[in-house]
Amino acid sequence: MPKVTKKLGNNKARAWESLGFAHKKKLCQHFDTTSFFFVIFATIFRFIYQKKRMKEFIISEAKVETAVLVGLITQTQDERKTNEYLDELAFLAETAGAEVVKRFTQKLPTANSVTYVGKGKLEEIRQYIRTEEEEEREVGMVIFDDELSAKQIRNIEAELKVKILDRTSLILDIFAMRAQTANAKTQVELAQYKYMLPRLQRLWTHLERQGGGSGSGSGKGGSVGLRGPGETQLEMDRRIILNRMSLLKERLAEIDKQKATQRKNRGRMIRVALVGYTNVGKSTIMNLLSKSEVFAENKLFATLDTTVRKVIIDNLPFLLSDTVGFIRKLPTDLVDSFKSTLDEVREADLLVHVVDISHPGFEEQIEVVNRTLADIGGGGKPMILIFNKIDAYTYVEKAPDDLTPRTKENLTLEELMKTWMAKMEDNYLFISARERINIDELKDVVYQRVKELHVQKYPYNDFLYQTYEEEE
């Protein structure tokens, strides 16, 4: 019998060692058999349970959130423009990682100050969300095409019982996702706090309670031990955010000084800035001209940090910068926060305005960019208009018996070129950066304009010299 007990004890010891409890080798000699097998089964059960939970976690993490879009047709925004805005909003949602499953629009003179849309439309959206939940297709969020007030968000959330986002918060989320450098992260964080500050009451409803205050003998006015002078939790949170914003502004001021010093040390060269609407191909053109590998992707705001490269065309070096793209309804907080980034545009000698000619609303995008440039102090500079993506341009050919007036959708690429030729004289070019169509012409146009500016600004600079073809 003692031999059997010893053998069982040795087996238990090996089992403890296999489970990582080698220090209990002697203890297991006196451990009864029932407890031994209980530990074994408990360990196996825990391992299986953890593996199952990890599998569920991975599945839940891979699940894409679904989104519903809501827009308004107003007196200043017709149905066509609203659909364009919703297309752009859907692209923003896709960039952020959401999948759009439904769109809702409503005709109203102006947005409802309480719920943005009317009560009937809000009930329609609520019924759709409930129906999807019954079909086990949960709607993760509802995104509105305009910026919502704190009151509107609070009322809509109370009715729909899902996450509510507006265009501004979605753009801020994308910027936070794209920010890579400390500079960009600081700028985005400041913009987020500016957006969050007037909406604290909606974001933190539990902070409406008093953290301290004058209490009466009946126990009202504060918790036991906390009665007395104090401030609301909401005010405390607001003060913390204001202090954080002050710190971020100081950091950005230091960054502005560093950037200004860097720009002064770049030498006597002409500065060229690529500007334009987001996702028009600025980074692709940057890579072609500078032979670098700036991140380019068919998504909105692929470029967030300004990239500066030295480019040499023929005998002339100059600095080329790729800036963050503009967008309709760009939050003013973002424009203010990205001052140091947009300084590259303000201090540029030449702007290369890139346009996606394949987009149906490219003319409005041009107006948005020009308006934003004027707002940041970058208007009135020499500019070249580059119409990109001519390989993706399409038009609707009219039937021979169609007597209705022609619209811009019926213009061929050649007719469009003639129209802009009359408007812009020589300050334009039609290219395809992806297919490398007219890239040599682009280099020639940029070279001529930079050369003109270089001779005016730095007449005695040694960088510029005659080529052999010119001497002959």
pLDDT interval class at 189 (50, 70, 90): confident
Asked whether the predicted pLDDT for residue 207 surpasses 60, the reply is no
Compare 376 and 109 and report the one with higher pLDDT: 109
The pLDDT score that the predictor gives to residue 152 is 92
Asked whether the predicted pLDDT for residue 354 surpasses 90, the reply is yes
pLDDT interval class at 122 (50, 70, 90): very high
pLDDT interval class at 344 (50, 70, 90): confident
Average per-residue pLDDT in the chain? Answer: 76
Pairing of strands 163-166, 65-73: unpaired
Tens of pLDDT, residue by residue over 52-109, are 444 443 333 446 789 999 999 998 888 988 998 999 899 889 888 899 999 999 999 9
The pLDDT score that the predictor gives to residue 121 is 94
Q: Which of 64-78, 97-111, 272-286, 316-330 has the lowest mean pLDDT?
A: 316-330
pLDDT interval class at 464 (50, 70, 90): low
Asked whether the predicted pLDDT for residue 184 surpasses 90, the reply is no
Maximum mean pLDDT: which of 69-73, 252-256, 329-333: 69-73
Asked whether the predicted pLDDT for residue 239 surpasses 70, the reply is yes
**Mean pLDDT (whole number) for 103-116:** 93
Pairing of strands 350-356, 141-144: unpaired
Asked whether the predicted pLDDT for residue 227 surpasses 50, the reply is no
Tens of pLDDT, residue by residue over 33-50, are 555 555 555 555 555 555
Asked whether the predicted pLDDT for residue 201 surpasses 90, the reply is no
The pLDDT score that the predictor gives to residue 234 is 73
Asked whether the predicted pLDDT for residue 129 surpasses 90, the reply is yes
The pLDDT score that the predictor gives to residue 431 is 92
Asked whether the predicted pLDDT for residue 282 surpasses 50, the reply is yes
Q: What percent of the chain has pLDDT over 70?
A: 69
The pLDDT score that the predictor gives to residue 345 is 83
Give every CB contact of residue 59 below 8 A, 6+ residues apart in sequence: none
Maximum mean pLDDT: which of 288-297, 313-322, 383-392: 383-392
Tens of pLDDT, residue by residue over 413-425, are 888 888 776 666 6
The pLDDT score that the predictor gives to residue 425 is 65
pTM for the whole structure: 0.69
